[in-house]
Amino acid sequence: MEQYAIKGGNPLVGEVEIGGAKNAALPILAASVMTDETVYIDNLPDVRDTNVLLKAMQGIGVLEKRTGRHSVTLNAAQISSLVVEDENIKKIRASYYLLGALLGKYRQAEVALPGGCDIGCRAIDQHIKGFKALGAEVWIEHGLIKTRADKLVGSHIYMDCVSVGATINVMMAASMAEGQTTIENAAKEPHVVDLANFLNSMGARIKGAGTDVIRIKGVSRLHGSEYTIIPDQIEAGTFMFAAALTKGDITVKNVIPKHLESISAKLLEIGCEIKESDDAMRVVCSKPLRHTHVKTLPYPGFPTDMQPQITVALGLSTGTSIVTDTIFENRFKYVDELTRMGADIKVEGTTAIINGVGRYTGASLSAPDLRAGAALVVAGLAAEGFTMVDEIHYIARGYEDFHLKLQALGAQIELVNSDREIQKFKLKVG
């Protein structure tokens, strides 16, 4: 079983290039089935979730040509099936983006019920409500969500909660509906805006993405496009917190600083220095971390996908911090693992009360999901001695070359596959 072997204690120093945003890439890939013309996508992250989605798209007849590690051309003129049942597709959340995309173009789709990280109840009622408001029937049968419409007609849809996935799905289907759709209480995340920009580059007529009211005038066809995906806000944030935890000095390059505002605000509060330029952020941390309080919120609030990373940092701070996750109710499962490193954290429902302990000691840990897995690795890099992290397949869902990028910053981390390799690593790093 692949694991990360880590020897902590080195400050991480240097520059790291941030890749394309996974959570933008997934809906953009799905939306490329909405045209018969060829689509070229650049800055595509080479991570497990995007690769699983691409394979499922090939399975329904999408022609894919990799033009480089981070670029692909896709052509969906010869779709052979509207049933997406690839064996791996149910493991990823974004499988359901093919519902909105195929429903919009073909008025019909069947997709295996989505999985994704086990971080809480991940309802899909708002997706279903949106599709129904556009005139589609939606039902669940034999593990598939099925949807069909004789015609899709624009509608006024109020989302009962702010949902990234539902906003994206409805936006895709509505782009090819007849007439105008208004989505109220829409999600404002950068990846929602990126998808809207991509759809507009294909001829869609979407206005207001990035605000809580999105207006879409349906069009009858979409055309090909060349598009570059935005940088990954969460990958960048994870490296910024790695600088904080290891008392390092890291510059994240190829980022959009505006997307990182809530993250840098918290880093400043806990005592880091930040230098911002047009497309880079430098985080320097030389003092003991201070405590603070955090509440995760939809964008532009502090992202739930950064909650484990800030919690592991606050675990090392002076004083008591309170972190509340208002988005997912089960996203503190990694706290038991962190306790093995000496953290003093009590979880009550969706709130963690963190008494900073000043130091972690290395331990054997298991990654419970993608972001928590990355946060535990960073905790290991800050800890005294050796840390092992297993179940790292979760991390590969959303971080490209995670350990290689960390190594380039001076981290002592290696991907190991056997006891022998672990012993070799221990001998090497001493």
Using CB under 6 A, list all residues that contact ligand EPZ: 23, 26, 93-94, 117, 121-127, 161, 163-166, 187, 304-305, 327-328, 370-371, 398
The residue annotated as part of the active site, out of 117, 121, 272, 285, is 117
Active site annotation includes 117: yes
Q: Compute CA distances 410 → 26, 240, 248, 401, whole Å.
A: 31, 15, 10, 15
Min dist. Cβ of residue 294 to ligand EPZ (A)? 15
Q: Which is nearer to ligand EPZ, 5 or 102 (CB)?
A: 102
Q: Which is nearer to ligand EPZ, 77 or 161 (CB)?
A: 161
Please count the residues of the chain: 430
Q: Which is nearer to ligand EPZ, 5 or 352 (CB)?
A: 352
Min dist. Cβ of residue 365 to ligand EPZ (A)? 18
Q: Which is nearer to ligand EPZ, 206 or 363 (CB)?
A: 206
Min dist. Cβ of residue 94 to ligand EPZ (A)? 4
Min dist. Cβ of residue 26 to ligand EPZ (A)? 5
The closest residue (CB) to ligand EPZ is: 165
For β-strands 412-416 and 386-390, DSSP reports them as unpaired
Min dist. Cβ of residue 327 to ligand EPZ (A)? 5
Min dist. Cβ of residue 86 to ligand EPZ (A)? 16
Angle 298-301-305 from CA coordinates, rounded to 5°: 65
345: number of Cβ within 10 Å: 22
Nearest to 412 by CA among 5, 17, 18: 5
- Cis omega before residue 11 (within 30°)? no
Nearest to 391 by CA among 121, 117, 113: 117
For β-strands 225-228 and 39-42, DSSP reports them as parallel
In sequence order, which residues have a C-beta less than 8 Å from that of residue 321 and are 6 or more positions away? 291, 292, 293, 294, 314, 353, 354, 356
The span from the CA of 415 to the CA of 400, in Å, is 13
Alpha helices in 304-369 (DSSP H): 307-314, 335-339
Q: Which is nearer to ligand EPZ, 248 or 368 (CB)?
A: 368
Alpha helices in 134-286 (DSSP H): 164-175, 190-201, 233-245, 261-269
For β-strands 108-112 and 71-75, DSSP reports them as unpaired
CA 407, chain centre distance (Å): 22
Q: Which is nearer to ligand EPZ, 23 or 412 (CB)?
A: 23
Residues serving a catalytic function are: 117
